[in-house]
Amino acid sequence: MRVAWDNLAEPADGAVASLTGYALALGAARSVSNFLLVPELQCCAVHAPADPTGAVEVFAALPIAVRAGMLRLTGQWRVRTDDPTGWRYQLHDARPADPPGWRGVTRRTALMSGPLMCLAVAARAAGPLSLGATPTIDIHSHAGNIASERRIRAGADFSPIAAPMRQGGMAAICLAIVADSATHRVIDGRIRPFRDPAGGELYNYGMLAFERVHQVVKSEGLRVVATAADLAAATSSTPSVVISAEGADFLEGRLDRLDEAYQRWSLRHLQLTHYRVNELGDIQTEPPVHGGLTDFGAEVIRRCNRLGIVVDVAHGTLDLVKRAASVSTKPLVLSHTSLTTRPGPHSRQISPEHAMAIAATGGVIGVWPVVDIYPNPQAMAVGMARLADVVGVDHVGLGTDLRGLVGASAIRDYTDLPLLAAALLNVGFSQQDAGKILGGNYARVFAASLAL
C-alpha cells in the first residue's frame, strides 16, 4: 500500500508499503543501508525532525544511493513501541521503487547539500531574494479566485492578490480567465467536458470573465501590462498583470473576436485549448479529434503573431504543439506542466520530445507545483533542474496555476516565492539563472511576441 505522511499510523505492522520522501543520513557516504526518510528536504543531519513519529527509519536490502531528490521506497512496514530512541515507524528490506519517468537528479545533485539548504529555512522570514534586474513572473495564475464560474456570476468578493505579491516579491502574473468553465467538471477524479455549449454561450461568458479580471485589477490597484516595456518595468512594489485566457473557446470560430479581446480587454497571452476539444485543436486529456492543430488554430496563431499576443500551447497534444511550432513565427509558451519520460494516458505532463519542441521555438515551459509531483518548493526546484538538463535553463519558467489546481499546491500563495528562489540556488542554479526561471525567460518571450 502507498503510505501518506499525514497518516503513518494506517499501515499494519508487517504490511508491504511504499513511501516517498527524502533521505537523511549521517556522514558523507553516497550509498547507505540505514537512514531516515523524511517528508521534506532537510538542510543537514543537525536539523533532523524533532518528532520521531514524523520520520521513518529505513533498513535497506542493499545500500541505496542517497540523492538530494525524492526517493520512493518499498519494503516491510514495522511499527515499534519499544525503540529506546523513540523511532516508531520503520521500513525493512527497503528497495527503490521509483515512479515512472524518474531518473534522479543529474549534474546539480552534488550542489544540493550542507549549509546551503539552511537558506530555505529562513527564506520566508527574510523576504524575496535578489535575483537581478529581471521581474519575477508567474506565467499562469488564477489568483484572486477569478476563474470560478459560480463566483463570477454571483459577483463574489476577490481574494487578495497584490498584498501576497508584494510580500513574496512577485512582480507580475499572467492572470487567466477560464474560457470553457461552463462546460467541464470533475468526473471520477478527472476534469472532463460534460456538455456542448450553446451558440454564443462561451463568447458571452468570456466577456463576463474578462470584465471580472479588470474588476479585480482595479480593486487591487494592479497595473495592466500592454507592452514589453510595461512588463520589464514591473516590480513587486507595483504588481502587474498580463491579461490571459486559458482556452480560446470564447472565439467560437471567429477570428475577429481575437482582435476585440486584444483591443477591448488588453489580452496579451492566449492559451489555445483547455479541457474541451475546441475549434483550435486536440487536448492531452481527451481522445484526439483533429489530428493536432486545426487550420483555424493555425490562423489564430498567425493573428496572435501579428497583433502581439503570446501563444500558449498548454493542454494541447504533442501533435498540436508540433504544428503550432511550424506555424508560429514567435516563441511558444507551455505555461504549466512538468517533465516525465513516459506521460500516462490523459496526463498533463510532457515528454522530453514535447519539451524540446517548445524550446526549439525559443520558448519557455512553466513548471507547476502539483503536490503529488512536487510535495514542496525544494522538490519543485529539483524538477526545474531536471527540465533544464533537457531543454536548457533559458527555456524553464514558473507557472503556478494558483487557485486553479484541483488538489493541493506546493506553492500556497506568492508569499512562498522566497522558498522556491532559495531552493533554486540550493540545487546549483546561479542567481542569474534563477532569475531567468522566475521571470527573465518569460519576459524575453513576451518581448519577442509583441515585437512587430
Distance of alpha carbon 154 from alpha carbon 14, whole angstroms: 53
Statement: residue 106 has pLDDT above 50: no
Query: How many angstroms from the chain centroid is the CA of residue 167?
Result: 20
The whole-chain average pLDDT of the chain stands at: 87
**Percentage of the chain exceeding pLDDT 90:** 64
Q: What is the pLDDT of residue 19?
A: 87
Q: What is the pLDDT of residue 99?
A: 42
Statement: residue 425 has pLDDT above 70: yes
Provide the residue ranges of all domains of the chain, joining segments of one domain with +.
5-98, 117-450
Distance of alpha carbon 119 from alpha carbon 111, whole angstroms: 13
Matching residue, cell 499501515:
11
List pLDDT tens digits, range 356-371: 999 999 999 999 999 9
Distance of alpha carbon 19 from alpha carbon 42, whole angstroms: 17
Task: Please state which CATH number belongs to domain 5-98.
Answer: 2.40.50.870
Summarize the confidence of residues 113-127 as an average pLDDT. Answer: 45
- Residues in the chain, total: 452
List pLDDT tens digits, range 392-420: 999 999 999 999 988 889 999 999 999 99
Distance of alpha carbon 51 from alpha carbon 88, whole angstroms: 10
Segment (H or E) for 61: strand 56-65
Highest mean pLDDT of the ranges 23-32, 75-84, 373-382? 373-382
Summarize the confidence of residues 265-276 as an average pLDDT. Answer: 98
Q: What is the pTM of this model?
A: 0.75
Summarize the confidence of residues 91-107 as an average pLDDT. Answer: 60
Contact 283, 276 (CB under 8 A): yes
Task: Please state which CATH number belongs to domain 117-450.
Answer: 3.20.20.140
List pLDDT tens digits, range 23-79: 876 554 556 788 888 876 554 444 556 667 788 989 988 888 765 456 888 999 999
Residue 35 in grid coordinates: 537512514
Statement: residue 109 has pLDDT above 50: no
State the chain's maximal CA–CA distance in angstroms. Answer: 74
Three-state DSSP class for residue 393 = helix
- Taken in order 195, 201, 203, 207, the sign of the CA dihedral is negative
Distance of alpha carbon 68 from alpha carbon 24, whole angstroms: 9
Q: What is the pLDDT of residue 114?
A: 37
Q: Convert 324-344 to b/e letters by CB count within 10 Å (16 or more is b).
A: bbebbebbbbbbbbbbbeebe
pLDDT class of 12 with cuts at 50, 70, 90: confident
> For 90, which DSSP code?
E
Segment (H or E) for 93: strand 89-96
Distance of alpha carbon 42 from alpha carbon 39, whole angstroms: 9
Residue 50 in grid coordinates: 524533532
Residue 339 makes CB contacts below 8 A (sequence gap 6+) with 101, 349, 350, 351, 352, 355, 367, 383, 386, 387, 390
List pLDDT tens digits, range 236-262: 999 999 999 999 999 999 999 999 999
Distance of alpha carbon 60 from alpha carbon 58, whole angstroms: 6
Cα 133 to Cα 167, 323, 353, 436, 450: the distances in Å are 18, 35, 32, 10, 21
- Specify the pairing of strand 56-65 against strand 31-38: antiparallel
pLDDT class of 130 with cuts at 50, 70, 90: low
**In degrees to the nearest 10, what's the CA dihedral of 175, 149, 405, 413?**
50
Residue 439 makes CB contacts below 8 A (sequence gap 6+) with 134, 135, 136, 137, 171, 172, 397, 398
Q: What is the pLDDT of residue 450?
A: 97
Residue 250 in grid coordinates: 470564447
Statement: residue 342 has pLDDT above 90: no
pLDDT class of 173 with cuts at 50, 70, 90: very high
Distance of alpha carbon 277 from alpha carbon 290, whole angstroms: 9
